[in-house]
């Protein structure tokens, strides 16, 4: 515990309180006008990702061990459906400025479009599940790209997963002040 606290303090060296240091967290990409496309993403994946993460998505183990040289991106050992990366905006933002290995913010290797599509391809694949049914007691607080209903807005799970996200964000913006309970009631009445 002492070690972890020391590490956290060290990470915060020279960072003013309540200030987010530049470059921390995951970059927020501009959204696409269309839904992100797993088929287009497959082409990006084949060309720029599978040499390390493998065509199977299972990654690559260090020979004779259970640790990875290249982590799995889908399948039973990958991140589960509750992980931050299962939200498309996080995966696309991470990949845009960190992958293929060696890419940086200053020297990205993918376009925004490629990042969204390859993210769609990866997140269209099977991965471990998790019970998320109690994660959002306030349904209106679900992020625009949380891919599981119920939602307070009228958009499908598919659109919440792959976009386009602008209509969802716009809807959320215009309905911000209304009580989430009322909205859900309206939604259920329409079913
Ligand atoms: C040269 C090898 C290499 C290539 C090519 C590569 N990656 Fe990676 N990737 C890695 C390594 C190594 C890591 C582990 C994190 C690190 O070391 O930064 C990683 C981590 C990741 C992660 C995080 C996984 C997790 O569970 O935290 C994602 C997502 C990812 N890569 C996606 C991609 C995508 C998409 C591409 C293609 C655009 C790609 N990678 C190309 C080597 C590679």
User: For the segment 100-135, what is each residue's pLDDT rounded down to a tens digit?
Assistant: 999 999 999 999 999 999 999 999 999 999 999 999
CB of residue 101 inside a 6 A radius of ligand 1? yes
Q: Whose CA is nearest to atom 13 of ligand 1?
A: 70
Q: What is the pLDDT of residues 141-175, one digit of tens each?
A: 999 999 999 999 999 999 999 999 999 999 999 98
Which tokens is 54 given? Answer: 């493998």
Phi/psi of residue 121, each to 5°? Answer: -60, -50
Fold held by 30-123: Cytochrome Bc1 Complex; Chain D, domain 2 (1.10.760)
**Dist. CA 56 → ligand 1 center (Å):** 14
Q: What is the pLDDT of residues 52-88, one digit of tens each?
A: 999 999 999 999 999 999 999 999 999 999 999 999 9
How confident is residue 176, by pLDDT bands cut at 50, 70 and 90? Answer: confident
Q: What's residue 179's pLDDT? A: 67
**Dist. CA 1 → ligand 1 center (Å):** 30
Q: What percent of the chain has pLDDT over 70?
A: 98
CB of residue 48 inside a 6 A radius of ligand 1? yes
Q: What's residue 19's pLDDT? A: 87
Is the pLDDT at 16 greater than 80? The verdict is: yes
Q: Whose CA is nearest to atom 26 of ligand 1?
A: 79
Q: How far apart are alpha carbons 49 and 126 in whole angstroms?
A: 18
CB of residue 96 inside a 6 A radius of ligand 1? no
- Spatial contact of 98 and 15, defined as CB atoms under 8 Å apart: no
**Dist. CA 76 → ligand 1 center (Å):** 17
Q: What's residue 128's pLDDT? A: 98
From 38, 52, 80, 113, the mutation candidate for ligand 1 (largest count of ligand atoms within 8 A of CB) is 52
> CA nearest 120: which of 5, 9, 19, 41?
41
Q: How far apart are alpha carbons 19 and 142 in whole angstroms?
A: 25
Is the pLDDT at 40 greater than 90? The verdict is: yes
Angstrom distances, CA of residue 101 to CA of 27, 71, 124, 173, 190: 16, 12, 22, 36, 48
Q: What's residue 187's pLDDT? A: 78
**Dist. CA 159 → ligand 1 center (Å):** 26
Is the pLDDT at 178 greater than 70? The verdict is: no
Q: How far apart are alpha carbons 164 and 141 in whole angstroms?
A: 19
Query: For the chain, which residues make up each domain, given as ranges?
Result: 30-123, 139-190
């Amino acid at each position: 515990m002492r070690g972890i606290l020391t590490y956290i303090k060290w990470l915060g060296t020279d960072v003013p309180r309540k200030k987010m240091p530049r470059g921390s967290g995951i970059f927020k990409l501009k959204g696409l006008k269309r839904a992100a496309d797993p088929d287009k993403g497959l082409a990006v994946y084949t060309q720029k990702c599978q040499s390390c993460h493998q065509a199977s998505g299972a990654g690559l183990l260090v020979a004779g061990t259970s640790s990875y040289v290249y982590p799995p991106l889908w399948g039973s050992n990958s991140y589960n459906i509750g992980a931050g990366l299962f939200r498309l905006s996080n995966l696309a933002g991470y990949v845009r400025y960190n992958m293929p290995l060696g890419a940086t913010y200053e020297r990205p290797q993918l376009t925004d479009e490629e990042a969204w599509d390859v993210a769609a391809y990866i997140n269209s694949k099977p991965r471990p599940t998790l019970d998320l049914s109690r994660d959002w007691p306030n349904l209106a607080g679900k992020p625009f790209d949380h891919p599981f209903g119920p939602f307070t807005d009228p958009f499908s799970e598919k659109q919440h997963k792959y976009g386009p996200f602008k209509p969802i964000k716009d809807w959320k913006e215009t309905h911000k002040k209304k009580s989430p309970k009322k909205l859900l009631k309206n939604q259920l009445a329409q079913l």
